[in-house]
Chains A and B, each alone.
Chain A
Amino acid sequence: DAKTTQPNSMESNEEEPVHLPCNHSTISGTDYIHWYRQLPSQGPEYVIHGLTSNVNNRMASLAIAEDRKSSTLILHRATLRDAAVYYCILRDRLDYGGSQGNLIFGKGTKLSVKP
């Protein structure tokens, strides 16, 4: 299974942008790049995903390198509520005649946000 590498922790100041990096040098051509985050005492929460092009949604932006071997999750203005563990995940494709895969989590990046 293709793996991802993320820094263990990062710090940010409130209301400043945050760039969370992820390396995935062994990504295959059809792996999607997913980001989830997990707030304390909660289950993981979907943030964003992409395949090749950069993606934007109301929560964040995802910038994907041209060779797809790395990506960056961008929080445009960090708030205290964004303090969480952020997981970068390659969606493992298991073909059951319909292509479904589970999520393989690493340890993620623990983001701290300072007021």
Chain B
Amino acid sequence: GAGVSQSPRYKVAKRGQDVALRCDPISGHVSLFWYQQALGQGPEFLTYFQNEAQLDKSGLPSDRFFAERPEGSVSTLKIQRTQQEDSAVYLCASSLAQGQASPLHFGNGTRLTVT
């Protein structure tokens, strides 16, 4: 079946531009996560949704970062006034249910380069 899909695969933005990154989770998955991965590092948690409710946004690095999942399915991560330090791979993951044992399924990410 289809996995987690992210678009675009690559995004180049000029400093100061706004960007929107899309995530299509696996159908029926309740939980959705966003992660940021800098070059050579492990992914770092940004935010978490359970259905349409954003239950944890403690990892968002600044108020320029905003995420939504209005109908409990597709999610969008928006970054306003991009800065060079925002350059990273942004990963989306979904899981079928809440709970520690439910594995996360990751997309292949969006590589954002801010010039």
Contact = CB atoms under 8 A, between A and B. Distances in A.
How many B residues are at the interface, by size bracket?
A: 20 to 34
How many A residues are at the interface, by size bracket?
A: 20 to 34
Interface centre among A34, A46, A93, A103 (most CB of B within 10 A): A103
A98 B98 contact: yes
Contacts of A101: 100
Interface string B51-87: 0000110000000000000000000000000000000
Interface string A63-98: 000000000000000000000010100010110101
A105 B42 contact: yes
Contacts of B48: 100, 102
B29 interface: no
A24 B56 CA distance: 25
B1 interface: no
10 contacts: A42-B108, A43-B106, A44-B43, A44-B106, A49-B103, A94-B56, A98-B98, A99-B100, A105-B35, A108-B42
Interface of A: 30-32, 34, 36, 41-46, 49, 85, 87, 91, 93-94, 96, 98-108
Closest 4 pairs (CB-CB, A-B): A43-B106, A105-B42, A100-B98, A46-B103
